[in-house]
């Protein structure tokens, strides 16, 4: 029987060698630059990319991606397979080449839906990230049901496993669901105090420190993956991970956005800058709140302070004929600590709108008024 590590190593090295032979010297040079981190630049299609002389840890070449939470029946909303697949197709046709998913997204449904599209695309043309930390196990006594934030979850149970063996098993399972031979980025998922069913998150963090962290670091050294980090909704595990390991980037959901970034500016942002690591921004519109939805992040309860702040931001946006949703994406793209952002979508028009957002400009007076009104942090980067 092939050992998991041997299987992953052989499969990935073979794929990587084939890619280098096909890509040639120019691609190798671009890869070397990207591996060092990088500055934002616009590509010919108008979408932002990481490019130029680069320093720090690995960053994906594409700054705009597609988050897989909503199309996986997130927010308790059922999305048909056909609509989910059409959404991924629309993202691809809009030029988006960065995709994020997870086994936790409706217990495997998200990976299967995303893989239905991506498994038929040229593998070297896109970047895919998924996550480890939960092992899914079938249970014949279960039917379709709501699990946490997921509608119509399939008949699987999950258990937390941040060990090295659990990490390798999770990656193999994800490759099967996605229909792919290799991954680019792997995040250690929900190792965080706000994960309600994790128990003592620091105890689980210690398991990951001895298990998942070194296992993923070895996979990166061996060329099995390009990068790794944590996907969490709280700053504490990010700050702890930077002390004990060398992750490349963090999927920081609900922690850095146009409307809610003050805490990050005094916490994870300087820590990441010092380490040379970066943020993949999850929930960049705060669960659709900045696009006008009446929810905030992953819950239905909206803090009054956020409602008041959104109202004031909308007033400034009207003064300058600016779409606040578009401005929110531009704000994130301006930050040097942000390597990419992955707004989620559940309808084909949404990723198209996100791509179009970067083919527009925001007047400098809009940013100046937001700062003057105290609506953005005094040190927060804004578009030039």
Give tens-digit pLDDT for 66-94. Answer: 999 999 999 999 999 999 999 999 999 99
43 pLDDT band, cuts 50/70/90, is confident
294 pLDDT higher than 80: yes
Our separate counts of H helices and E strands in the chain read: 13, 14
331 pLDDT higher than 60: yes
Q: 300 or 50: whose pLDDT is higher? A: 50
Q: What is the mean pLDDT of residues 221-250?
A: 97
What is the pairing mode between strands 150-153 and 145-147? antiparallel
Q: What is the pLDDT of residue 53?
A: 56
Report the chain's mean pLDDT, rounded to a whole number. 90
329 pLDDT higher than 50: yes
Only one residue has tokens 């006008």, namely 292
38 pLDDT band, cuts 50/70/90, is low
Catalytic status, residue 162: no
**Of 99, 105, 162, 256, which one is the catalytic site residue?**
105
Q: What is the pLDDT of residues 145-193, one digit of tens each?
A: 999 999 999 999 999 999 999 999 999 999 999 999 999 999 999 999 9
Q: What is the DSSP string of 262-328?
A: HHHHTTHHHHHHHHT-EEEEESTTTTTGGGT-S-BTTBS---HHHHHHHHHHHHHHHHTT--HHHHH
pTM: 0.90
Q: What is the mean pLDDT of residues 138-146?
A: 96
């Amino acid at each position: 029987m092939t050992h998991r590590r041997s299987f992953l190593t052989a499969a990935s090295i073979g794929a990587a060698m084939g890619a280098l032979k096909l890509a040639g010297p120019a691609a190798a040079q671009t890869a070397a630059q990207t591996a060092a981190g990088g500055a934002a630049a616009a590509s010919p299609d108008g979408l932002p990319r990481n490019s130029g002389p680069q320093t720090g840890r690995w960053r994906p070449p594409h700054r705009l991606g597609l988050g897989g939470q909503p199309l996986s029946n997130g927010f308790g909303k059922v999305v048909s397979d056909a609509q989910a697949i059409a959404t991924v197709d629309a993202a691809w046709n809009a030029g988006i080449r960065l995709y994020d998913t997870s086994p936790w997204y409706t217990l495997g449904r998200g990976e299967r839906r995303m893989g239905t599209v991506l498994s038929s695309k040229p593998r070297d043309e896109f970047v895919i990230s998924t996550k480890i930390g939960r092992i899914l196990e079938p249970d014949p006594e279960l039917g379709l049901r709501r699990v946490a934030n997921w509608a119509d979850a399939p008949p699987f149970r999950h258990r937390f496993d941040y060990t090295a063996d659990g990490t390798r098993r999770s990656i193999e399972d994800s490759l099967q669901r996605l229909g792919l031979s290799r991954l680019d980025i792997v995040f250690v998922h929900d190792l965080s105090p706000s994960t309600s069913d994790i128990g003592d998150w620091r105890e689980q963090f210690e398991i990951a420190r001895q298990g998942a962290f070194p296992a993923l670091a070895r996979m990166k050294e061996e060329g099995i993956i390009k990068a790794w980090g944590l996907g969490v909704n709280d700053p504490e595990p990010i700050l702890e991970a930077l002390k004990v390991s060398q992750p490349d980037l963090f999927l920081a959901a609900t922690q850095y956005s146009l409307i809610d970034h003050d805490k990050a500016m005094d916490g994870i942002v300087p820590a990441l800058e010092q380490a040379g690591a970066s943020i993949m921004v999850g929930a960049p519109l705060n669960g659709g709140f900045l696009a006008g939805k009446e929810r905030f992040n992953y819950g239905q309860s909206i803090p009054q302070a956020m409602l008041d702040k959104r109202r004031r931001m909308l007033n400034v946006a009207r003064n300058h004929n600016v779409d606040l949703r578009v401005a929110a994406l531009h704000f994130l793209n301006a930050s040097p600590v942000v390597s990419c952002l992955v707004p989620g979508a559940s309808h084909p028009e949404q990723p198209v709108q996100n791509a179009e957002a970067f083919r527009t400009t925001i007047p400098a007076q809009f940013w100046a008024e937001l700062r003057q009104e105290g609506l953005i942090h005094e040190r927060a980067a804004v578009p030039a």
